Amino acid sequence: MTLTLKLTDKETVLGRVALFTFEDANGDTLPAYSAGAHVDFDLGETGTRSYSLINFSLPAANAPSTYQIAVQCEEDGDGGSRAMHALEPGVILNTSRPKNDFALHEDDAPAILIAGGIGVTPIISFATDLTSRAAKFQFHYATRSQGHCTFEETLETRFKEALTLWFDDINQIDLTQIIANAPDDAHIYCCGPKGMIEAVREIAETNGYDKSHIHFELFASPAGHDGDTPFEVEINDGRVFTIPSDNSIVDVLEEAGVDIMYDCQRGDCGICQCDVISGEPDHRDVVLSESERAAGDVIQICVSRAKSARLVLDI
């Protein structure tokens, strides 16, 4: 954690969604960030939670005086969103500098932006950036109903004909048609629930899009599965670790002092990927294609587990 931020404003924008505004607690200039960046917040006993920075105007990212995030309170979640919603203006938090595992392409290729629920936050920043470039893009935002559409009026005002709103109870989003009708050189971005991301990836791959043009980010940490059981992980120095049913490989190895690389802890950035020497992974990420999962020779150790009693990993 390298920043100290002060919460200056908290505004309810829709039902369970609040917009949080932070400034540097010491009055310093905040680091610039690019569209898709997130900040890790230290929430004390609740742990660290990551939230995407949201901006509606490019100068907010290039020379920021404040950071803004939107958080949907999940009463049955893991506690992070409840901890955020309990904060009041004036509180001081330690955070990371902005990090970006979900970056926007830099060339002139068109973009298809697809958001589900509160996953709209980084997608708004993408649309802001692309608008400033006068780049071609489509912005598709799907929610359960119009009453769940966060920032609806602002989005319609700023992104006009580039924006299409989809409501499950009226006109459910047609991912197949959206992707089938997209330009061949388009970059496809999706942030939302795991089911939406997996559908977008599968449809895009079926339509011939290269993996390098398919980008995604989960807006929530994946939950554990009923029936999860402990398993063993062996690493290169011969040490063997037991992974409990309620801990990840990353959690156990880091606690033991093993030097590992990771970031999102949701299974969507790919940074923690490592080779599988033997054993059968239980893949729970959204990074790997179906063929890569079937091959079983790599694993995202922040979320995936094992179907075999032991995994031998190249770490």
How does pLDDT run across 201-249, given as a tens digit for each residue? 999 999 999 989 999 887 665 555 667 889 999 999 999 999 998 889 9
Name the class of domain 111-218. Answer: alpha beta
Q: What is the pLDDT of residue 225?
A: 63
What is the Cα Rg of the chain in Å?
A: 20
Q: What is the pLDDT of residue 95?
A: 96
Q: Are 65 and 1 in contact (CB under 8 A)?
A: no
Q: Are 250 and 259 in contact (CB under 8 A)?
A: no
Q: What is the pLDDT of residue 222?
A: 56
Predicted confidence (pLDDT) at residue 292 exceeds the cutoff of 90: no
Instruction: Summarize pLDDT for 59-109 with one digit per residue, the tens.
Output: 556 778 999 999 999 877 667 889 999 999 999 999 999 999 899 999 999
Predicted confidence (pLDDT) at residue 131 exceeds the cutoff of 90: yes
| Distance, CA of 23 to CA of 29 (rounded, Å) | 9
Token code pair at residue 119? 């996953």
| Distance, CA of 211 to CA of 205 (rounded, Å) | 7
Range with the poorest average pLDDT among 84-88, 271-275, 283-287, 297-301: 283-287
Check residue 279 and give left, alpha or beta (phi > 0: left; psi -120 to 50: alpha). left
Q: What is the pLDDT of residue 148?
A: 92
Contacts of 156 by beta carbon, 8 Å cutoff, 6+ apart: 163, 165
Token code pair at residue 297? 């020779």
Q: Tell which CATH classification among 3.40.30.10, 1.10.10.10, 3.30.450.20, 3.10.20.30 matches the domain 231-313.
A: 3.10.20.30
Find out if CATH 2.40.30.10 is the number for domain 3-95. yes
Q: What is the pLDDT of residue 80?
A: 85
Q: Are 209 and 111 in contact (CB under 8 A)?
A: no
| Distance, CA of 94 to CA of 40 (rounded, Å) | 9
Q: Are 52 and 124 in contact (CB under 8 A)?
A: no
Q: What is the pLDDT of residue 59?
A: 55
Instruction: Summarize pLDDT for 135-188 with one digit per residue, the tens.
Output: 999 999 999 999 999 999 999 999 999 999 999 999 999 999 999 999 999 999
Instruction: Summarize pLDDT for 9-35 with one digit per residue, the tens.
Output: 999 998 899 999 999 999 998 999 999
What is the maximum span of the chain, computed from C-alpha positions, in angstroms?
Answer: 59
Q: Report, as an integer, the average pLDDT of 39-56.
A: 90
Q: Are 243 and 233 in contact (CB under 8 A)?
A: yes
Contacts of 176 by beta carbon, 8 Å cutoff, 6+ apart: 203
Q: In CATH terms, are 3-95 and 231-313 the same topology?
A: no
Domain boundaries, the chain: 3-95, 111-218, 231-313
Q: What is the pLDDT of residue 104?
A: 93
Q: What is the pLDDT of residue 58?
A: 65
